[in-house]
Amino acid sequence: MNWIAFVLYLLLVHGEAIVVAIFNVWLMTWRESEMPIATVSDEPEHYDLKTLPGAFVKIRRMDHGERMQRQQLLNKTRMNLRRGSKDVSVDMDLVNAAVTMYEWANLIVAHNLEYLTQPGNPDTATKLDFTNPEHVRMVNGRTSEEIDTYIGEVNNFEMEESDDRGVNS
């Protein structure tokens, strides 16, 4: 009996539901054995901020294209260093700021951080928009350092076990 006859037999005897269930199990098994998924998960990491009780951020992992773009921003600094520019520290500060702005605008996908448009008036609380560089600059220094740490944590690949180097024995 070939596989088509077998599927028809299952369909006639057991109905459509069993055929669909068997196909789904086979498909999942086949996909797992054939090729792993190499794209970034859309599920962001949730962090409760220690420096600001009640606050949180959700940070997503960069895909390869974003890593390349970030690296390109950093490489601009290295080029200026090689040329012997006298404005090296200024260039580095600008590039570091550009990288930070890029990361905050693109990787923080949710948060509950606000600022007061009129200082001292809680009725003017407005959510920070991290695509706006001025809003990024407003964040308390300790809180921004904590968020930068979490961005680095989510986007730095480190081996969980020092013995595992991805080499097959």
| Residue 134 to residue 104: CA distance in whole angstroms | 12
Q: In the numeric block, which tokens belong to residue 134?
A: 């001025």
Q: What are phi and psi of 119, to 5 degrees?
A: -50, 135
What's the confidence (pLDDT) of residue 138? Answer: 95
Q: In the numeric block, which tokens belong to residue 53?
A: 């009780």
Tens-binned pLDDT, residue by residue, of the chain (169 aa): 566 666 666 666 666 666 677 777 767 766 555 667 777 777 899 999 999 999 999 999 998 888 888 888 777 655 555 555 555 555 555 667 888 999 999 999 999 999 999 999 999 999 999 999 999 999 999 999 999 999 999 988 553 334 444 444 4
Model-level pTM? 0.64
The three-state DSSP-derived secondary structure of 73-101 is HHHHHHHHHHHCCCCHHHHHHHHHHHHHH
* Alpha-carbon separation of residue 154 from 10, 29, 55, 141, 147 (angstroms): 47, 30, 18, 20, 11
| Residue 95 to residue 82: CA distance in whole angstroms | 15
